[in-house]
Structure 1
Amino acid sequence: MKKHELKLLIKYFKDVEQGRKTFELRKNDRDFQVGDTLILKEYHPGDTDYKDGIYIPAHYTNNETVKKIVYILQGGQCGLEEGYVILGIQ
């Protein structure tokens, strides 16, 4: 069983953390396997508030959540592009 540290966009973090979003769509560049652990780190991609002229650089927050992979839908089926996976997580 592997541990994978991954970015998770700030707009999805709470839903994943609280169990409302129980899946992740990812490029399968890490050989994900059922039973692997995801360490999902909340990530802010950066932004410019043109109204106030404030630039917020991309950064990690201090929040993270840990989930287990319980199911994998492989790409190349169901309209999912080859090389991608949908991970069922708990």
Structure 2
Amino acid sequence: MVTHKIKILPEYFKAVAEGRKTFEIRNNDRNYREGDTVVLQEWDGQYTGFQITKQIGFVTDFEQKPGYVVFGLV
């Protein structure tokens, strides 16, 4: 299992924090896998200091642009 630290814009960070956003669509440049951990770090042009840690529960590239994946956050 791998831990990925990734930037997330404030509006999406808030939605994840409130439990309304349970997925991410990302370029799969990090080879995201089920069971990996993602540390979502709020970014508004610089890091705000807020972060949320989630686990990847499911990954798919169905209907995505080439090289992109959707993964579920649990």
Aligned length: 74
TM-superposition CA deviations, 1:46-80 (whole Å, max 9, x none): xxxxxxxxxxxx21101000000001112xx32x1
TM-score scaled by length of structure 2: 0.94
TM-score scaled by length of structure 1: 0.78
1:24: which partner in 2?
24
Structure 2's unaligned 5+ residue stretches are none
Distance 1:2 1:66 in 2: 13
The one-letter amino acid of 2:55's match is K
2:72 is the counterpart of 1:88: yes
1:15: which partner in 2?
15
Distance 1:36 1:19 in 2: 19
The one-letter amino acid of 1:70's match is G
2:48 is the counterpart of 1:61: yes
Structure 1's unaligned 5+ residue stretches are 45-57
Of the candidates 55, 58, 61, which is equivalent to residue 71 of structure 1?
Answer: 58
Distance 2:35 2:18 in 1: 20
Distance 1:17 1:3 in 2: 19
